[in-house]
Structure 1
C-alpha cells in the first residue's frame, strides 16, 4: 500500500493551479480530489473539481468507477476539519480505501474544507461536473511561494484584475518586457526591472533591489507577486534569489522549494550561473553543485 500523508492547504492550492499550455486539471490522470463530507455540505459548496464520496449501506467508501486510481498522480481527500492521521472520520475512511490501489500516498487535506475555504474562498464552487473544454479554459492563479505572502506567475495573471483582488495583491515585481496601464488603475506599486530571458542578461545587479522591495511590502503584511512573461524563467530566478537573500536558503534548497510550487519552472542557464554567484554572496560559499542536467 502507498500509505497516507497530510497535505497542507498551500500544497493543494498549488496543485490546483499548475499548468503548461493548459491547466493540468484537464489531464485525466493528474488529480482526483474527493470531498468526504455529507452530500448536503458538498452540494452547498466544495473545492473546485472535487467529487463527493460515495458510501455503501455499511458506510464503507465506494471506489469511484470512472477514476483509474492506480495511475493518478495526486489523490487528495478532505472532510470538514481533519488535522491528523490519528483522527477518525470520513477523510481517513476514504483514504484507507484508496491507498490500497494507489501508487502514490493518498493525501489528506490538513484542516479540511474549513481551513482551505477560509484561505482560498475564490476556489469554492457549487459546480459538480466539468467537461474537458471547461477544464482547459480554467484560469489558474499564480502559485504560492510563501503562504499568503509571496506569489509567482505570468503576465496574463498579473494583468487579471480578479486575480489581483482575490489574492489581495497591490505590490508587483515585473521582470517581463511588458508594462500595462492596468497596474495604475488597480493602484498597484510596481517594481519593473526589464530583463531579457537570455543567458547573457545581467540579473545579479538587480537582485538586492528586488529582494528589498519584496521585504518592504511583506513586512507590512502586503502580499507580493513576482511575474515574467511566461512565468517559468525570470520570475523563478527572482523568487529563488529572495529565498536565498532573506531566508538564507542554499541554491539547492531554493530550487527545490520553487520546483515544488511550480513543476514547470526552468530558469535559463545564465540565470543559474548568476544564482550560484548569488549563493556565494548570501551564504558565504558555493554549496550547490550546478552541473547539468540537474540545473
Structure 2
C-alpha cells in the first residue's frame, strides 16, 4: 500500500505549472488536490483546482468523480501541517491512551491522507506548511473558484518552473514577456538563451543577458557559460529573482540552468540533470 510523503510548496507549485501544449491540469488523472480545512476557510480561498473535502457523521468522504487509482499526484493540505509525525494533544480525561494526560492525534491532512492511501497506487503527498505557507509564497495561485470547466483549464497559463526556490526559474519566451508573471514572481533579471528579442526588455541592459544561440545540435553554448554564471551570481547577490528562458523553455534554457547548477553546487552533470528533471522540466 502506498504511503505518505511530505510535499514542499515548490513541488506543488511545479506540479500545478506543468505543461506541454496545454496545461497538464486538463488531464483528470494528473492531479487530485484536496483541501481538508473547514468549509468556510475553503470558500474564502483555496489553491487553484483544489477540491473541498466533505464530512458526513464526522467522517471524511472520498472525493466524487475522481478515480484515485489512476491519479498520478494526490496532494492533501490543511492549514499548516509541517510533519508526518502524530501530535500530542492535552486531554483532561485520565483514560487517555498513553497515561500521561495526552492523546495521539493525527493532523487533518495526515488523517485524510491515510484514508486515501488505501485507494491509490501512488504515494499521497501532504503539503508541508499547509495552505498558510503555500498561499503566503504563491498568493497568485489562490482562488475562490470551485468549479473549473474544461475550456478554462485549457486556457490556464502556466508559470515558469521553479528551480532554486524563490530565486531561479526556467520558462519560455512567452512567459518572459508576460508582465503579470514578472510581477507575481518578482523577477528582476533575465537570461535569454535564444535568437528571439522583444520590446519587453527594452532599456534593461543591466538586467538582461542575451545569449544569441540557435536551436541547433551544432550550436555551441560552452563559450557563454562562464559569463552567464557570473551574471546569475551577481544578481542573486543583489537579491534579484532570475528567469532563464528560451523560445520553448526546453533545450537551450535547460542546458544553461544545468550548467549553472553544476557550477554553483559543484555537482556532476548527471546529478543536476536529475534535479532539473525532477522539477518537471522537459528537455
Q: TM-score, normalised by structure 1?
A: 0.87
Q: Which has the larger radius of gyration?
A: 2
Distance, in Å, in 2 between the alignment partners of 1:218 and 1:184 is: 22
1:168 aligns with 2:167: no
Which residue is equivalent to 1:108? Answer: 126
Cα shift at 1:56? 1.4
Which residue is equivalent to 1:76? Answer: 75
Cα shift at 1:93? 1.6
The structure where strand makes up a greater share of residues is 2
Cα shift at 1:185? 6.8
SS in 2 for 1:71: coil
Contact preservation (8 Å) 1:3, 1:105: yes
* Aligned partner of 1:258 among 276, 279, 282: 276
Cα shift at 1:89? 2.0
List runs of 5+ in structure 1 lacking aligned partners.
267-295
Distance, in Å, in 2 between the alignment partners of 1:226 and 1:139 is: 18
Which residue is equivalent to 1:269? Answer: none
Which residue is equivalent to 1:97? Answer: 115
Distance, in Å, in 2 between the alignment partners of 1:99 and 1:90 is: 14
Q: TM-score, normalised by structure 2?
A: 0.91
Map of 1:1-295 to 2, 5 A cutoff? Answer: 1-57=1-57, 59-87=58-86, 88-184=106-202, 189-263=207-281, 265-266=282-283
The structure where helix makes up a greater share of residues is 1
Q: Which has the higher contact order (CA 8 A, sep 6+)?
A: 2
Cα shift at 1:181? 1.3
Cα shift at 1:189? 1.3
Taking only aligned residues, the RMSD between alpha carbons, in angstroms, comes to 1.2
Distance, in Å, in 1 between the alignment partners of 2:272 and 2:28 is: 30
Distance, in Å, in 2 between the alignment partners of 1:185 and 1:167 is: 20
Q: After TM superposition, where is structure 1 displaced by more than 3 Å over at least 4 residues in a row?
A: 185-188
Distance, in Å, in 2 between the alignment partners of 1:228 and 1:82 is: 37
Distance, in Å, in 1 between the alignment partners of 2:249 and 2:280 is: 9
Which residue is equivalent to 1:274? Answer: none
List runs of 5+ in structure 2 lacking aligned partners.
87-105
Distance, in Å, in 1 between the alignment partners of 2:83 and 2:279 is: 23
